[in-house]
Amino acid sequence: MVRIVSIIFLVILIFSCNLKEKIFQTSPDGKVGIALVLTDSSTPAYKLSINDKTLIDTSCLGFDFAGIDDFNSNFKITGIDKNSFSETWEMPWGERRYVENNYNQLSIDLKHKPTKIKLKLVFRIFNDGVGFRYEFPEQKAVSELIIMDENTQFNLTGDHTCWWIPGDWDIYEHLYNTTKFSEIDALSKRNHPNLAQTYIPENAVNTPITMRTEEGIHLCFHEADLTDYAGMTLKIDPEKLIMTSELVGSEITGYKVKRTLPFTTPWRTIQISENATGLIGSNLTENLNEPNKLGSIPWFHPIKYAGIWWEMHLGKSTWDISGSQDSNSFSPDSETPSSRHGATTENAKRLIDFASENNIGGILVEGWNTGWEHWIGFEDREGVFDFITCYPDYDLKEVVRYGKEKGVELIMHHETSGAPRTYEAQLDTAYSLMKSLGIHTVKTGYVGNIIPVGEHHHGQWMVNHYQKVIETAAKYNIAVNAHEPIKATGKRRTWPNIISREGLRGQEFNAWASDGGNPPEHLPIIAFTRMLAGPIDYTPGIFNIKLKPYKPDNQVNTTLAQQLALYVVINSPVQMVPDLIEYYEGHPAFQFIRDVGVNWEQTLALNGEVGDYVTIAREERETGNWFVGSITDENPRMINLKLNFLTKGETYDATLFLDGADAHWDKNPTSYKIEHLTVTNSSDVELNLAAGGGAAISIIKTNPEIE
């Protein structure tokens, strides 16, 4: 009897050892590990370790489907597969030319015993983190699934420090909060400084959310390849230290996602780094997207662009021709309202002249088309815009012609006022017009509630709309810079005509936010949170920091030198040069904006801590020149910069745009100085950043090779 029992015990032991071994996989460097288990209730769950230490504890996986009792337990494993993958792919534009994509994969086939529904879980383990997703193959048991919610857990192993924004279903334009995980209280953030109330149904956060453990490990939770699915927020359990996926829903359909099989969910991602800067160096999100579907897109070149834009945010001019939409704006008595329309042919030509003289490749013109009299708060009229009819004082063809003569492209503007159906009905007409004029970039906008009310910006319906815009635009050789967008999830790899987007509190908040604008720590947080998702249209470069005389009660909360540094710190292939021309003309510091690149061979995050400071160096494609940006929060800081990334044997002229000795983001923001140095790769530079300050450096080869 004893023998039989011990044989059975041995068999169980051998079987469980094998199983355990089979469902464990590490990253190529062996540091990150994933283990898959079935819990006592036969619920699939994963565990994540770094250097053999548990970082994410047993976290369950499952779904609530309409019409199915329980899809969270009662599974059996029917297959296990492991393989490895390694490639280098090229970015047509971006923060680096070549991206390494190396991972080990672990796939588990599961069968849900009560319903016989088959499901595959796929984990990709990289040196810089993990991505996993659910795959529902075509099968007899089911042909369509209605997801009421996805129950993906992230079971944290400590009360980490978190940088988070609330899980708003419509807008990501919230200030980041810095709290312990157990102190996250998203519901207290429902009141937005400029929108009455935003839609935040649960104590949930949006992604990316960045965390730091007590040991100094940095984590960022996000998603990759968000396609035909709802955006994911993460519900917070402050006591158990668990986050659970909470998909964005719709009051119209009552469900979160509806899909026909076969389908796969977006990847749930966890970026991991032993220091903060390692997060910036990671392209895990892009690596989890499909390769480029468009091939080369010679019609899009990264550019800087000026605009008829900031003047409206300052209230100096208006989007609409009657001036009626701007009650609290700057309006000198002597001017008649109609003279304040910004988008006139004359104004656009003035801007084109300025751009062509200053190495700025494009101009954006907002307020050019009819409808702006009714652009906010008219939800009962579905769509107040068309995208071809100009106001009478704006001659679109003439502006394009003049721009071409001067080598400056027009960036089209399509504000939809939250009416995607109206926009979709006009996409072909609007893009045909652009194509006929040779316009290759559009900035889109989705201000206000989505019409129909009940759909949300981040739900499946809108995810599909944003995708339709991208695919239609691609057919017309058009690149898209979306405002009020869906979050970036690395799709720029597949669709390189997704060039940039907003999806954060941009510079514009400094012109009109009633809460004092973006604080000095804003960008040192953004660099390690929102920016990990993808390029940002932030619109740096305001020189008239105090916004006088237009907005005497508002201001930009950085020094002028930090505004320059942001052209390097912020990743985007389109960078705005937004201030009014008169603040740039004749200003010595404007030279940095003229010179700075927008398309990069490589990017190095040299130093930084989340929310405190960051220094980034980028090498420009084609020229081999380098640009460095360093920014700090409200604390002054000394940064020791080693230029050992420069090419050995090469000599460079460095121009340093620095905070003046008495600079301070509030007390003296425009104090700056310019220094010149000859540098090599053995040079060291000491940068003294003021409170809310920064430093911007251009490092130009002394003897550029003649190509």
- The binding site for ligand NOJ (CB under 6 A) comprises 309, 366, 415, 445, 447, 483, 502, 508
Binding partner of residue 326 among Ca ion, ligand NOJ, none, CB under 5 to 8 Å per kind? none
Residue 194: Cβ within 10 Å count: 12
If binding is defined by CB under 5 A, does position 693 make contact with Ca ion? no
Binding partner of residue 128 among ligand NOJ, Ca ion, none, CB under 5 to 8 Å per kind? none
Least distance in Å: CB of 510 to ligand NOJ? 13
Based on CB atoms, which residue is closest to ligand NOJ, 267 or 309?
309
Least distance in Å: CB of 377 to ligand NOJ? 14
Binding partner of residue 170 among ligand NOJ, Ca ion, none, CB under 5 to 8 Å per kind? none
Within 151-217, strands assigned E span 153-156, 161-164, 177-180, 204-206, 209-212
Least distance in Å: CB of 300 to ligand NOJ? 20
Least distance in Å: CB of 271 to Ca ion? 21
Based on CB atoms, which residue is closest to ligand NOJ, 129 or 445?
445
If binding is defined by CB under 5 A, does position 520 make contact with Ca ion? no
Binding partner of residue 415 among ligand NOJ, Ca ion, none, CB under 5 to 8 Å per kind? ligand NOJ
- Among candidate residues 246, 286, 415, 508, the one labeled active-site is 508
Least distance in Å: CB of 487 to ligand NOJ? 15
To the query of whether residue 508 is one of the catalytic residues in this protein, the response is yes
Binding partner of residue 246 among Ca ion, ligand NOJ, none, CB under 5 to 8 Å per kind? none
Based on CB atoms, which residue is closest to Ca ion, 386 or 612?
612
Least distance in Å: CB of 30 to ligand NOJ? 45
If binding is defined by CB under 5 A, does position 609 make contact with Ca ion? no
If binding is defined by CB under 5 A, does position 367 make contact with Ca ion? no
Interface of this chain with Ca ion, residues 553 to 592, rule: CB under 5 A: none
Report the alpha-carbon angle 446-287-291, nearest 5: 80
Q: Specify whether the CB–CB gap between 404 and 367 falls below 8 A.
A: no
Q: Buried b vs exposed e over 289-323: b needs ≥16 C-beta within 10 Å?
A: beebeeeebeebbbbbbbbbbbbbbbbbbbbbbeb
Q: Which of 2-10, 311-319, 399-407, 627-635 is the region at the interface with Ca ion (rule: CB under 5 A)?
A: 627-635
d(CA 242, CA 568): 36
Binding partner of residue 633 among Ca ion, ligand NOJ, none, CB under 5 to 8 Å per kind? Ca ion
Binding partner of residue 99 among Ca ion, ligand NOJ, none, CB under 5 to 8 Å per kind? none
Written as six digits, the tokens of 347 are: 């104004």
Written as six digits, the tokens of 115 are: 């319903």
Least distance in Å: CB of 403 to ligand NOJ? 20
DSSP class per residue in 589-602: THHHHHH--SSEEE
Q: Specify whether the CB–CB gap between 409 and 303 falls below 8 A.
A: yes
Based on CB atoms, which residue is closest to Ca ion, 91 or 610?
610
Based on CB atoms, which residue is closest to ligand NOJ, 65 or 310?
310
Candidates 361, 597, 611, 692: give the one binding Ca ion (CB under 5 A).
Answer: 611
Based on CB atoms, which residue is closest to ligand NOJ, 154 or 509?
509
Binding-site string for Ca ion from residue 376 to residue 395, where x marks contact by CB under 5 A and - marks none: --------------------
If binding is defined by CB under 5 A, does position 149 make contact with Ca ion? no
d(CA 677, CA 350): 35
Angle between the 396-406 and 345-357 helix axes, to the nearest 10 degrees?
A: 10
AA letter at 306: A
Q: Specify whether the CB–CB gap between 615 and 628 falls below 8 A.
A: yes
Based on CB atoms, which residue is closest to ligand NOJ, 395 or 508?
508
d(CA 80, CA 120): 9
Candidates 612, 650, 653, 666: give the one binding Ca ion (CB under 5 A).
Answer: 612
The C-alpha torsion from 475 through 481 and 487 to 493, rounded to 10°, is 50
Candidates 633, 639, 698, 699: give the one binding Ca ion (CB under 5 A).
Answer: 633
For Ca ion (CB under 5 A), the number of binding residues is 4
- Cα distances from 415 to residues 422, 496, 548, in angstroms, run 11, 22, 28
- Cα distances from 382 to residues 197, 391, 413, 456, in angstroms, run 22, 20, 19, 15
d(CA 484, CA 159): 32
Based on CB atoms, which residue is closest to Ca ion, 167 or 611?
611
d(CA 558, CA 692): 5
Least distance in Å: CB of 364 to ligand NOJ? 9
Written as six digits, the tokens of 642 are: 């080693």
Q: Specify whether the CB–CB gap between 497 and 466 falls below 8 A.
A: no
Binding partner of residue 445 among ligand NOJ, Ca ion, none, CB under 5 to 8 Å per kind? ligand NOJ
Active-site residue list = 508
